[in-house]
Amino acid sequence: MKERLQNIGQQIYDLFLRFVQWRQQHIKERTFVIILALFVGIFAGSAALLLKSLIHAIANMLTSHMEISGGNYLYFIYPALGILITGIYVRYVVKDNISHGVTRVLYSISQNKSRLKPHNIYSSVTASSITIGFGGSVGAEGPIVYTGAAIGSNLGSMFRLSPRVLMIMVGCGAAAGIAGIFKAPIAGMLFTIEVLMLDLTTVSIMPLMIASITAATMAYIFTGYDVEFFFVQSEPFVTGRIPYVILLGVFCGLVSLYFTRAMNMMENFFKKISNPWKKTAIGGMILACLIFLFPPLYGEGYSSITQLLNGDPSSIVNGSIFYGDRENVWFILIFIAAIILMKVFATSATNGGGGVGGTFAPSLYVGCMAGFFFAYLLNNLGFDLDLSIKNFALMGMAGVMSAVMHAPLMAIFLTAELTGGYELFLPLLIVSVISYGTIKIFEKYSIYTMRLAQRGELLTHHKDKAVLTLLKMDSVIETDFMTVRPEMTLKEMVEVISQSNRNLFPVVNNDNVLLGVVLLDDIRNIMFRPDLYRKMKVSKFMSMPPAKVEVGENMEKVMKTFDKSGAWNLPVVENGKYVGFVSKSKIFNSYRRVLRHYSED
């Protein structure tokens, strides 16, 4: 039986290979990419629906019976238990790090030739549904982006697509994930362009659109045509409110700066803890305490967003020990301010403790709270402004998301698509742009790209840096240089020169440690003097190279070394031992080749 199954499997595999060969001969790559984008949209859209269903099913099962008129002590148990279960699943079943999904997709694009492991298709969905369903204060968007990107990557790899096309398929999967989970096809496409930093070309635009539209259509078919957050604009926006919209943009930018810096600080705190069980204990304890005190921090928090967008601030304290203060305006303000400050700690404790989730939803959440807080505070300071707290909550969502992710266009369209608030397009534009401009003064990178930028592994919008990131040291090292010893005489040196077609000679000792270099131009005046052949030794006329390059350095750092040293050739060493040389001309040739390859239309 086993042998028969193996034979059937081999026959299916052979049939698939024949199809791949037939496709290469009969279907153009551009056409095939569009066909694959359709399937990526279907699969990623299905994954988004599955993830949302699992999260809601788990959360409803655990919290549907809870009281809203007082504290619930089960909040001390559920979030920590969710982190523990997720940690065990990731550590002993997946056996791979699947946190920070968007950052890992960025890393895959810039370092791994857009190849993601097959388990990423399902592992993030499973882990994040447990984390969020049990109360982890994170979003499902990071995991679904990771899942969609893995679907695109593995589907493209199956059909032997090139790294350049695989990059497009990864972008299609990510766009489809966002479009499917939010019913927001435009935002899905803009997410890929602004956050994943995929270049928009005639090759990539059609697949991205098809994947996003297909995934959003899947969501509409199975969940209806309602928007994610129910919002009715009962108060029209008037131009006299623009000064306050500008102030909100600055406020959102500063809130985003706090969110980004605090998240970075907490991530560094958890990185210093080597014991995974200790991480789980600390993360679970922080998260459980915060959720007990502030129940709106439970899970994604989308119900709280809906309540604020419908102008119901008193419901924010439902299920908490502060329920009795729900009619006190100033207490509500303090409560919301505390949530804005504590959300980042709840999110980082979830991820740092071993949970799996993204920072996409938390930025939406904090933005809604920040916008509501801004308008509610001004309305109650006695200035008789009568600002629409619903409208400002909506604008705050776009403002904080724009700044945290450094993606103003995506934030504008996502907010509009999530709520149907297209009539607020002008103030959304103003808040997003000003908030983004505010944080750019202090932070060069988004919350996603910051981790890679610190390691010099970021593929950016700048084409030159992108191509340099894609270049690998191994591909530009030249090893056809003849080595010499410091004790060799000038006569022996001349003999080596006569056998070499290079004008540069590395000087090494018996352990192959680089001691210096000999330049042909430096000894040209003595190499034709026989009287010095036995007197002069290499150690006398060798010189130190202006700089050295370590094996494994990224190419951007190598080019900076070239600029500082002014050299045209630099030795490459590994722990001090000579490996070869790298030259500007070799790098430039490789640069042009990669640039041409990744810019083909």
Q: Encode pLDDT of 108-166 as tens digits.
A: 776 656 778 888 899 999 999 999 999 999 988 889 999 999 999 999 888 877 777 88
**Shared domain check, 216 and 327:** no
Judge whether 441 and 465 are in contact, CB under 8 Å.
no
| Whether residue 370 is found in the same domain as residue 505 | no
With bands split at pLDDT 50, 70 and 90, how would you rate the model's confidence at 601?
A: very low
For the chain, helix, strand, coil in percent to 5 are: 70, 5, 25
Q: How far is CA 184 from its chain centroid?
A: 19
Instruction: Give yes or no: residues 470 and 519 share one domain.
Output: yes
Amino acid 561: pLDDT: 82
pLDDT of residue 110: 64
Q: What is the pLDDT of residues 405-431, one digit of tens each?
A: 888 988 998 888 888 777 888 899 999
Same domain, 498 and 447: no
pLDDT digits (tens, 9 = 90+) for 212-266: 999 999 999 998 887 777 777 767 778 888 999 999 999 999 999 999 999 989 9
165-216 per-position pLDDT tens digit: 888 888 899 999 999 998 889 988 888 888 776 666 666 788 999 999 999 9
Specify the pLDDT at position 464. Answer: 52
Which residue, of 431, 460, 489, is where some domain finishes? 460
For residue 446, which of 420, 410, 481, 476 has the smallest C-alpha distance? 410
Same domain? For 134 and 262 the reply is no
Residue 423 lies in a domain: yes
Residues 448 and 510 in one domain: no
- In this prediction, residue 16 carries a pLDDT of 67
Give tens-digit pLDDT for 87-116: 999 999 988 888 877 777 877 776 656 778
Within a domain: residue 231? no
The domain boundary, picked from 460, 483, 500, lies at: 460
Confidence of residue 589 (pLDDT cuts 50, 70, 90): low
233 located within any domain: no
The tokens of 127 are what?
């882990």
Is position 230 within any domain? Answer: no
d(CA 485, CA 339): 68
Q: Which pLDDT does position 113 carry in this prediction?
A: 61
Selection from 353, 354, 372, 351 nearest residue 362 by Cα: 351
Residue that wins the pLDDT comparison between 336 and 113? 336
Flag whether 254 is in a domain.
Answer: yes
Cα–Cα distance, 421 to 403 (Å, whole number): 20
70 with 116, same domain?
yes
Query: Is 527 a domain residue?
Result: yes
% the chain with pLDDT above 70: 89
Instruction: Specify whether 273 is located in the same domain as 359.
Output: yes
Q: Please state, rounded to an integer, the average pLDDT across all residues of the chain.
A: 84
Number of domains in the chain: 3
Of 268-272, 342-346, 504-508, which one has max mean pLDDT? 342-346
CA distances to 17, 27, 328, 334 from 34, rounded to whole Å, are 20, 11, 56, 51
Is pTM beyond 0.75 here? yes
Contacts of 415 (CB under 8 A, 6+ apart): 394, 395, 397, 398, 401, 421, 428
**Is the residue at 229 inside a domain?**
no
Q: What is the distance in angstroms between the CA of the first residue and the CA of the last residue of the chain?
A: 49
Task: Say if residue 151 is in the same domain as residue 200.
Answer: yes
Model pLDDT for residues 514-567, shown as the tens digit of each residue: 888 988 887 888 877 888 778 888 888 888 888 888 887 777 777 788 888 878
More confident residue, 15 or 428: 428
Reported confidence tier of residue 344, pLDDT bands at 50, 70, 90: very high
User: Are 14 and 66 part of one and the same domain?
Assistant: yes
What is the per-residue pLDDT across 449-498, written as a single tens digit (0 to 9) for each? 776 666 655 554 445 555 555 566 667 788 888 888 988 888 888 888 88
Q: Where are the alpha helices (DSSP H) in 321-380?
A: 329-352, 360-379
Report pLDDT for 456.
57
Give the pLDDT score at 400.
95
Q: Render pLDDT for 310-334 as a digit per residue (tens, 0 to 9).
A: 877 888 888 888 877 777 888 999 9
Place of tokens 């809906």: 306
Tally of CB atoms within 10 A around 256:
30
Of 197, 223, 249, the position where a domain reaches its end is 223
Under a CB-based contact definition with an 8 Å cutoff, are residues 365 and 259 in contact? no
Structure tokens at 330: 């100033």
Is residue 74 domain-resident? yes
328: left (phi over 0), alpha (psi -120 to 50) or beta: beta
Residue 212's nearest CA partner among 244, 234, 188 is 188
Distance CA 542, CA 518 (A): 5
474 and 443: one domain?
no
Shared domain check, 219 and 281: no
Q: Looking at residue 579, which CATH number applies to its domain?
A: 3.10.580.10
Q: What CATH number has the domain bearing residue 146? A: 1.10.3080.10
Q: Give the range of the structural domain holding residue 86, as residue numbers without chain letter.
A: 2-223
